[in-house]
Chains A and B, each alone.
Chain A
Amino acid sequence: MQKRIVIPFGPQHPVLPEPIHLDLVLEDERVVDAIPSIGYLHRGLEKLVDKREFPEYVYVIERTCGICSFIHGLSYCQAVEEMMKIEVPERALFLRTIGSEYSRLHSHLLTLGCLADGMGFENLFMGFWRVRERVLNRMEESLGGRVIQGTCKVGGVRKDMDGEMLERMKAELDVLDKEMKEMTGVLLRDDAVKYRMKGIGVLPKKDAFELGAVGPTGRGSGVRIDLRERGYAAYGKIGFEPVLETAGDCYARTAVRCRELLLSTRIIRQCIGKIPDGPIETKVTGNPNGEYASRVEQPRGEAVHYAKGDGGRYLKRFRIRTPTFANIPSLVHMLKGYELADVPVIIMSIDPCISCTER
């Protein structure tokens, strides 16, 4: 007779970067069911909208998450600007795009490192984070901070990047490409690593579409959903193709992220080539009145920021729907039928960012 035991996976677990609680029902080390419960990181950031005026609220929204912070700020600014019908100058749009892509590089490198760590491969984890240091140094130099940048503001950006800095960034992108190819080569081509990832956590395309998987989780199963194609910020002026894989297992999702690293450096190069001169901000007068939902492509998928104002200095309501929240049903579906040893790899392959999920 098979024995069923319930293992509490998390909230405190050395493998998880952030606290999520999953009750795994196991039969002889095989997962039969998983019951998620979140709420360990809820800080009530949406309530602060009553207490911080709308230009300062961007600092609160940026601190929703440390990994995807730039794009949260960008999305908030976009929502308020669309509500107030503010026209953001072109140079600011390009600078925001460069910041977004750097943020995406940083986030993917972090995730891939944590995935290697979840497999027990500490050396690769350190290798990825070493490359990430380069990206963080460039972000600190140009945007103003390693993890929380504080660059986006309603009406434009706060800091400018002069031509010399852009040239230096461009030169460094080649070094970055080489180092990233070396590390992702180990991740994607080493047989021992492939053994841990191929065929694990398969999500068929139909299930991915029905369960609402977004971001690399969905793109790894062949669902073509990439919000950058809608053309917000400066993405409409840059040509690129979203990265798709069809297998739907952990290997495919990791391959999507590795290829997106190289796609990001290509986008940054295009931005640096096409960036026009001009002002970086417009003066903001008046107060937000109305409502708007702004959708952006976070490194983990699609994020929706809904803002509602009624003419005062304080916004009436602000709500974020983060990509990890949309991916949790897919995660529960993916876990069934695999062994306990695969659970960390599967969880890390959807890239959980729980601090966004439960602002």
Chain B
Amino acid sequence: MELLYGLIYLVAAPVAGGLLTGLDRKVSARMQGRVGPPLLQPFYDVMKHFQKEKVVVAKIQNVFVLGYLLFMAFTGALFFSGGDILLVIFAMTLSHVFLVLGAYSTNSPYSFIGAERELVQMMAFEPMVILAAAGMYLATGSFYVSDIAGTGKALALLLPGLLLGFLYVLAFKLRKSPFDISSSRHAHQEIVKGITTEFTGSTLGRVEIAEWYELVLMLGFVYLFFGWSPPLALVAVALAYFLELVVDNSFPRLKWPFAVKSSWVAALALGMTNVAVLWYFARGVV
């Protein structure tokens, strides 16, 4: 049964991710006073990418990017079929490492610096995500996503610090200002398009689809915090996404030392405190 959910995710997540990305671009454009592209524009873009000529610098980069896509899809399928949340987190890290290796293999200075920054970015948000998993274990007693989603407990009220911390680092994962330090949607940063600079054609199309998988997975994480009431959870996910768009449109890009420092401070202040408080109470109860 749960395997079915995983399979549905594999098929439906790109569609949902693409529609959400299209909505993101349209709403961002309206916030800037423009009309914006049509809603299905990301699909047109990806189809165009697949029609383009393959110009590769080092053939191994195709292997790495394929690894990135497959592992991201696997991670998401694992999450939605109720698997172990720790495995989900580490498999996601593995898929990003594949992307970084793909960028390193191209020998271009822009990809090189983009890859370094992607590693720094991973260093910045990993603590928060792991603390979130630990907090959910303490609140529900299980590491399995199916148990966390099915629990009757109001996780958002038990883990407010973790929720806020997670929303803070969501900007890293979704590649939005102020933390789009390795590769942003808009490609006008000092390192051109950062980690994806040297990818063209079907490789870039695969990176785009993998980002859609990741988007749905991240919103699934936010859903988990409100799992006890599905309608409320869907509203919360929509609000969280809208909040990300407002933040994206109100901040310039901040430099990576500040990004790392601030996310660790957020992890410590919000995450650790929350986990410590929970642990204290859990010991008292159990």
B261 in the interface, Cβ–Cβ < 8 Å? no
Known: A5-B112, A6-B109. Contact between A192 and B251, CB under 8 A?
yes
**How far apart sit A119 and B23, CA to CA, in the bound complex (Å)?**
24
Known: A29-B113, A126-B33. Contact between A120 and B189, CB under 8 A?
yes
Is the pair B249, A120 in contact by a Cβ cutoff of 8 Å?
Answer: no
B214 in the interface, Cβ–Cβ < 8 Å? no
A2 in the interface, Cβ–Cβ < 8 Å? no
Is the pair A127, B180 in contact by a Cβ cutoff of 8 Å?
Answer: no
Closest to B257 in A: A339
Is the pair A116, B252 in contact by a Cβ cutoff of 8 Å?
Answer: yes
Instruction: Collect the chain A residues with CB atoms within 8 Å of residue B255's CB.
Output: 196, 339, 341-342
What's the minimum C-beta distance from A217 to chain B, rounded to whole angstroms?
Answer: 20
Closest to A344 in B: B190
Closest to B253 in A: A120
B184 in the interface, Cβ–Cβ < 8 Å? yes
**How far apart sit A13 and B253, CA to CA, in the bound complex (Å)?**
17
Instruction: Collect the chain B residues with CB atoms within 8 Å of residue A122's CB.
Output: 28, 32, 186, 249
Known: A6-B109, A341-B255. Contact between A121 and B177, CB under 8 A?
yes
List residues 180-207 of chain B with CB under 8 A from any CB of chain A. Answer: 180-181, 184, 186-192
Is the pair B32, A344 in contact by a Cβ cutoff of 8 Å?
Answer: no
**How far apart sit A119 and B186, CA to CA, in the bound complex (Å)?**
12
**How far apart sit A284 and B82, CA to CA, in the bound complex (Å)?**
86
What's the minimum C-beta distance from B52 to chain A, rounded to whole angstroms?
Answer: 18
Residue from A7, A126, A339 within 8 A of B110 (CB atoms): A7
What's the minimum C-beta distance from B156 to chain A, rounded to whole angstroms?
Answer: 28
Instruction: Collect the chain B residues with CB atoms within 8 Å of residue A126's CB.
Output: 32-34
Instruction: Collect the chain B residues with CB atoms within 8 Å of residue A119's CB.
Output: 252-253
Instruction: Collect the chain B residues with CB atoms within 8 Å of residue A6's CB.
Output: 109
What's the minimum C-beta distance from B200 to chain A, rounded to whole angstroms?
Answer: 15
Known: A119-B253, A120-B253, A196-B254. Contact between A343 and B190, CB under 8 A?
yes
B44 in the interface, Cβ–Cβ < 8 Å? no
Instruction: Collect the chain A residues with CB atoms within 8 Å of residue B253's CB.
Output: 119-121, 196, 341
What's the minimum C-beta distance from A16 to chain B, rounded to whole angstroms?
Answer: 9
**How far apart sit A196 and B112, CA to CA, in the bound complex (Å)?**
23
Closest to A121 in B: B252
Interface of B is mostly: loop
Closest to B32 in A: A126
Closest to A343 in B: B190
B258 in the interface, Cβ–Cβ < 8 Å? yes
What's the minimum C-beta distance from B258 to chain A, rounded to whole angstroms?
Answer: 7
Q: Mark A85-123, 1 if CB is under 8 A from B, else 0.
A: 000000000000000000000000000000011111111
Interface of A is mostly: helix
Instruction: Collect the chain A residues with CB atoms within 8 Å of residue B31's CB.
Output: 123
A188 in the interface, Cβ–Cβ < 8 Å? no
Is the pair A127, B113 in contact by a Cβ cutoff of 8 Å?
Answer: no
Tally of contact residues, B, Cβ under 8 A: 30
Residue from A14, A116, A121, A342 within 8 A of B192 (CB atoms): A14
A293 in the interface, Cβ–Cβ < 8 Å? no
B250 in the interface, Cβ–Cβ < 8 Å? yes
Closest to A124 in B: B252
Is the pair B258, A195 in contact by a Cβ cutoff of 8 Å?
Answer: yes
Instruction: Collect the chain B residues with CB atoms within 8 Å of residue A9's CB.
Output: 190
Instruction: Collect the chain B residues with CB atoms within 8 Å of residue A127's CB.
Output: 32-33
Residue from B178, B180, B184, B189 within 8 A of A344 (CB atoms): B189
B256 in the interface, Cβ–Cβ < 8 Å? yes
What's the minimum C-beta distance from B173 to chain A, rounded to whole angstroms?
Answer: 17
Instruction: Collect the chain A residues with CB atoms within 8 Å of residue B250's CB.
Output: 123
**How far apart sit A251 and B145, CA to CA, in the bound complex (Å)?**
49
**How far apart sit A5 and B33, CA to CA, in the bound complex (Å)?**
41
Is the pair B113, A340 in contact by a Cβ cutoff of 8 Å?
Answer: yes
**How far apart sit A110 and B282, CA to CA, in the bound complex (Å)?**
58
What's the minimum C-beta distance from A231 to chain B, rounded to whole angstroms?
Answer: 40
What's the minimum C-beta distance from A10 to chain B, rounded to whole angstroms?
Answer: 11
List residues 280-311 of chain A with CB under 8 A from any CB of chain B. Answer: none
Is the pair A5, B249 in contact by a Cβ cutoff of 8 Å?
Answer: no
**How far apart sit A127 and B31, CA to CA, in the bound complex (Å)?**
10
Max chain B Cβ within 10 angstroms of own Cβ: one of A7, A117, A342, A343: A7
Instruction: Collect the chain B residues with CB atoms within 8 Å of residue A13's CB.
Output: 192
A169 in the interface, Cβ–Cβ < 8 Å? no
A15 in the interface, Cβ–Cβ < 8 Å? yes
Known: A7-B110, A29-B113, A121-B177. Contact between A15 and B189, CB under 8 A?
yes
Q: Which residues of A contact B (CB under 8 A)?
A: 5-9, 13-15, 29, 116-124, 126-127, 130, 192-193, 195-196, 339-344
22 pairs, CB–CB < 8 Å, chain A vs chain B: A6-B109, A7-B110, A7-B113, A15-B189, A117-B188, A120-B189, A120-B252, A120-B253, A122-B28, A122-B186, A123-B31, A123-B250, A124-B252, A126-B34, A130-B33, A192-B252, A196-B252, A196-B255, A339-B255, A341-B181, A341-B253, A344-B190
Shortest Cβ-Cβ A-B pairs, 10 listed = A120-B253, A14-B188, A121-B252, A119-B252, A126-B32, A123-B249, A7-B109, A341-B255, A344-B190, A120-B252
Beyond known contacts A29-B113, A120-B189: 11 more, CB 8 A cutoff: A5-B112, A14-B188, A14-B189, A15-B188, A122-B28, A124-B252, A127-B32, A196-B252, A340-B191, A341-B256, A344-B189
